[in-house]
Structure 1
Amino acid sequence: MDTPATHTPATHAAATNTATAAMAEILELDAEVLGTYLSELTTWLGELSDREPVRIVDLGSGTGTGAIALARRFPRAGVSAVDVSPQMLHRLSVKASGLGLADRVHGVQADLDQEWPALGPSDLVWAAAALHHLADPERVLSHVFDALRPGGLLAVTEMDFFPRFLPEDIGVGRPGLEARLHAALKGAPAAGWTDHLVRAGFTPEAERAFVIDLPTPLPVATARYARACLRKLRSHLDGQLPAEDLDALDTVTDDESPHGVLRRDDLTVRTTRTTWVGRRP
């Protein structure tokens, strides 16, 4: 008879650390592969701002994809990067130091579902793929409204769908694999954030969809980015796809397989991200 698995605080902590490390890898590779998109987005925000931001807040910053991009775009700004995870903020600190930004990018550990941190007045608040994770986004938006100076901006960005990388025929007898795995994981369509912004007191300023379809040559980190993203999706797919599809996905993410993403020359990067911008009157 098999012995039931024992879940202890130590095993739970180990699992949490593993999941955090996997997500941190995706976030860092995302910043590297999608640098052109981030530059386009931050430039657009600069055009919408009534003056150059000098105080910026990145909510749910993770490893600092947004915080670093904003610090680069606005060289006079100090950026407070807020995240619940000390591991994520440590990675942010190391990255900021390596880029010579340690004097302008600072981590703030806080659980936004518990208490709003003391951040002072801000010119721009950035929340990328963060607000939908919160238990009460409306409460957080009200805090953001209070924290922004009049005329300041809030930019909320969401991923419309996880990036796609694979051709229709991946060479292992399962054509259309990636389309099926995305269909299996697809939830209800996002309703957008305009109504939420209005209820919090913001004036809707703009809404823009950024279509990402990278041309060749792709960034050198693309294969590792594809592997990390596909492995992340794979972790949610047991019972959602036939065993043959799961086996094919395991083959595609296997570093030693000739069909694995690290050895392919036919990858693409396709996704869409939408940003809603509100202004405090």
Structure 2
Amino acid sequence: MRRPLSRRLSTAAALVAAAVVTPLAAPVPAAADGVVIGGSPVQVSDSPWAVALASRDRFGGTRAGQFCGGAVVSPTTVLTAAHCLSLEVLGAPLETVEDLHIIAGRNDLRAAGGREVAVRSVWVNEEYDSFTNAGDLAILTLDKPLPKDHVIPMAPVGDRAYEAGTRAQVYGWGDTTGQGDYARSLRAAKVQVLADTACEAAYPGNADGTYLRSVMLCAGEVEGGRDACQGDSGGPLVARGRLIGLVSWGSGCGQAGSPGVYTRISELLARMAPTAAKGS
């Protein structure tokens, strides 16, 4: 999981401005820090905006090369975590990975169905900080558009979906136990948005990272048991039908007192707004 948003998001704004919508009433390179613990299988058709990020060249073909998740915010735009595209995760420089693609609409990664779409270009937040885990954002531009019903609206600043106590769901194909038991089908876990003070207490600044409320979001259960884990990084956190976060980082998976930390979507939208307005 992991990271604050860049202070220079002009390139990102240009890539995603079209996606700003009115809110609705194994022995392979190490997988990213993120997996759905305490969840259950869900139908991709009910959450088509949840997609898998994959590379068979880097991660093999057993699970179609899945190594992270992503959220569709426009027919040709997918948001994911910056750390998913790091040398540490990929095991090779990003520019050398020639088969980077997303998998949409596939319930079982080992089966056929759905569609695989190549990633045409990648924007990785230049100010992603692997020490604090701030700015954990990357934007993928797809080679071909997905259907419009795959798009999920993003929750803006002030949306009630960010309020502490709000019920949410986190989605992914990652580790389901914290012991390397990776899911073959999409899973979701019910969590709740936690108060910023809870995450500040859990992550005041140590080897795990530093919780920064302006650019991060905290979600999980106080007693633990439901969380994202290895392989879920970059996947969507959804509340009230809107995207509020991307799986970023945390200490362990589903542990009491160590909630999951997510890249806060409202911060992205706030930084994009001036650029989007100029272009309108």
The answer to which structure has the higher helix fraction is 1
Q: TM-score, normalised by structure 2?
A: 0.27
Query: Which has the higher relative contact order, 1 or 2, with Cα contacts under 8 A spaced 6 or more apart?
Result: 2
